[in-house]
Structure 1
Amino acid sequence: MANQFLLLALLATTTFAIATAFEPSPLQDFCVADPANPARVNGLVCLDPKLATAVHFSFKGIHLPGNTSNPLGSKVTPVNVVQIPGLNTLGISLARIDYAPYGVVPPHTHPRATEILTVLEGSLYVGFVTSNPNNQLISKVLNTGDVFVFPVGLVHFQKNVGYGNTISISALSSQNPGVNTIANAVFGSNPAIESDVLAKAFQVDKSIISHLQTQF
């Protein structure tokens, strides 16, 4: 199983690496992120390249199962510029996702990245919704070895439809793709969106909105 996982992960990342990224091409060999630098740029300031080591370009633990004992029954293990500073300016990142039986990754968007997902083990129901005015749902049940693409910025989701645990791995076209979970953003914003706005938007009573806001 470990060998199969590594082979599929390598295939997914290698395939995605040749795709055109949205982020600018680097103008040097690398730009290891220096999060301690106070300068504010669109990305992260480069560490002195003479200080770069293999640690800046590696991450351990992608083979380890994530803890899915939570209300959603899923766990995302990101591997982006936070975990690998050497990804800075390279326009790519990775994530492992574990799903308990019937676990979900709820509707969300990645504002800065297209995602390509490969199922390593189990079965997933996945889909995304096109933008207004059509809002077409494009969905499919995936099995081990299947691949699916979520275009940048579109709302998408995953659900484990098998009886056992499911594992997928995703490559994303940004060093820092971002995640905007729809329910959290709408009902858990800080400060809260006024309930009468949401009541009109969802065409429900304000009491329902108030209840949903308490959940987030």
Structure 2
Amino acid sequence: MKSFVQAFVLLALASSFASAFDPSPLQDFCVAIDEPKNAVFVNGKFCKDPKLAKAEDFYFSVKMPGDTNNPVGSNVSAVNVDKIPGLNTLGISAARIDFAPYGQNPPHIHPRATEGLVHFQFNIGKTNALAFAGLSSQNPGVITIADAVFGSNPPINPDFLAKAFMLDVKVVKDLQAKF
């Protein structure tokens, strides 16, 4: 019993020295600006003087549908810190996805964020659909899986991909040629 208590105390002390979280921001908001004159650099962007912040710094409208006339039949309009400067340091962004009939948003990852299941989908007439996604970063980035696998530069050896995906090497070469 004594060794259990000692181990428990040691573990408790050791865990109190470690923490894994984002630090609290030094201010409530930090509207991003491109001009560094008399500005503070926070989270990859320069900050506007908080006294000069306006409502427009926290607003953006994506009214027009994106062009879905492409091979995947969708268009993603990112709404991030570059479009809404007030998102700087808040750790959020969003995306509007427009879909043509049978369109898709290809498999992808966001290397600097997780994608929340804050998807709302609306059918617009009989031809198009619209969805929204929330992301846990002000600038999440995106890597499309097919581009990374079949369109990499330098290309991945077709023999390796054929074995990994259980495909004929000719099929892999044909897929690589499309990218």
Task: Quote the offset at 1:42 in angstroms.
Answer: 9.0
Q: Does 1:186 align with 2:159?
A: no
2:96–2:131 Cα contact (<8 Å) kept: yes
Q: Does 1:205 align with 2:168?
A: yes
The Cα offsets for residues 94-138 of structure 1, whole Å up to 9 and x where unpaired, read as 111111111111111223123223334129xxxxxxxxxxxxxxx
Structure 1 Cα separation of the partners of residues 87 and 175 of structure 2: 38
The Cα offsets for residues 165-212 of structure 1, whole Å up to 9 and x where unpaired, read as 111112211111221211011011122222222122112232221111
1:25–1:89 Cα contact (<8 Å) kept: no
- Residues 143-154 of structure 1 mapped to structure 2, 5 A cutoff: none
Aligned length: 153
- Counterpart position of 1:28: 27
**In 2 relative to 1, CA 51–114 (structure 1 residues): closer, same or farther, beyond 3 Å?**
same
The Cα offsets for residues 65-110 of structure 1, whole Å up to 9 and x where unpaired, read as 1111111111111101121222111011111111111111111122
Structure 1: unaligned runs, 5 residues or longer: 1-21, 124-161
The Cα offsets for residues 14-58 of structure 1, whole Å up to 9 and x where unpaired, read as xxxxxxxx8554221222334566xxx994133242585434333
Structure 2 Cα separation of the partners of residues 194 and 88 of structure 1: 41
Match of 2:68, SS state, is coil
- Residues 12-161 of structure 1 mapped to structure 2, 5 A cutoff: 24-35=23-34, 43-49=43-49, 52-54=52-54, 55-60=56-61, 62-111=62-111, 112-122=113-123
- Counterpart position of 1:177: 140
Match of 1:171, SS state, is strand
**In 2 relative to 1, CA 121–50 (structure 1 residues): closer, same or farther, beyond 3 Å?**
closer
Answer 1 or 2: which has greater helix percent.
2
**In 2 relative to 1, CA 187–165 (structure 1 residues): closer, same or farther, beyond 3 Å?**
same
Relative contact order (alpha carbons < 8 A, sep ≥ 6): 1 or 2 greater? 1
Match of 2:161, SS state, is helix
The one-letter amino acid of 1:72's match is V
**In 2 relative to 1, CA 43–210 (structure 1 residues): closer, same or farther, beyond 3 Å?**
farther
The one-letter amino acid of 2:26's match is L
CA RMSD of aligned residues (A): 2.7
